[in-house]
Amino acid sequence: MTTTTGSMLSCNMDGAVATLVINRPPANSLTPEFLVELGMAFDRLATDDAVKAVVLTGTGRFFIAGADIRVLASIVSVGEGEAIALQGQAILNQIEVLEKPVIAAINGICLGGGLEVAMCCHVRLAAEGSRLGQPEINLGIMPGFGGTQRLPRIIGQSKAIELILTGDSISAQEAKVIGLVSQVVQPEDLLRQAQGLARTFASKGQMALRASLRAIRQGIEMDLRDGLALEARLFGGLCETDDKSEGLAAFLEKRQPRFKDR
């Protein structure tokens, strides 16, 4: 089933998997209006109990080419620049804290704000031939939607500094080598692979899935001792669930579990 979420996004539902498709020709560039539409779409997905996993992808040769140059040119004051950065950060944070896995299916050019959108997703797959990077330095600016914070956390500080300060883009294969994406697939297989992974996520007990996402997301901001304590609390909380009993029973009975998400 396909539903239109707005003028720049469509949402295709297949079972428990929602696929959001960005369609803002010619390059799927970011504007404040598009960010609002993206945030509203994720608001709806967050509250839709039928949705258990999300795939985000683009159209044509572009995932997201970056910010709209006309929008950047119109920003002429400190206050305007900070406001648009905070708007973008807030919406990308909203995607990152979604307690449903979000897979970025990077189908082509993924630069600047596009890479920042991809990095707030929980898993990133890229099509062979894609290019990824943070080229803002070449425009006399810097990443403003979380690039300076998420990129070092994902690939390490040294490589992140190199990419941000040179503005160079890298291939999908190099992105895989440095851990920026987890898989590189042929373009014609990208959506099928991403949706298949999403279906795998959706088949798991959602209480355990949400707890795992929370432990990873919150734990990375803590020192090891506090992160381990968080993990223990969340693990303990799962031990009284029906899904835990069902999962163990299914294992012992050599059958697939039938999780009820409670």
CA distances from 150 to 134, 156, 160, 180, 211 (A): 12, 10, 9, 10, 21
Q: C-alpha 221: how far from its chain's center?
A: 18
- Active-site choice (80, 136, 221, 240): 136
Catalytic residue among 80, 116, 162, 221: 116
Task: Tell me the C-alpha distance between 150 and 141, whole Å.
Answer: 17
In terms of DSSP bridges, do strands 9-14 and 17-22 run parallel, antiparallel, or are they unpaired?
A: antiparallel
Distances (CA, A) of 232 to 183, 203, 213, 241: 30, 24, 14, 15
Long-range contacts of 93-96 (CB under 8 A, 24+ apart): 93/120, 93/146, 94/39, 94/42, 94/43, 95/38, 95/42, 95/120, 95/121, 96/120, 96/121, 96/122, 96/217
To the query of whether residue 116 is one of the catalytic residues in this protein, the response is: yes
Question: Is 136 one of the annotated active-site residues of the chain?
Answer: yes
* Positions marked catalytic: 116, 136
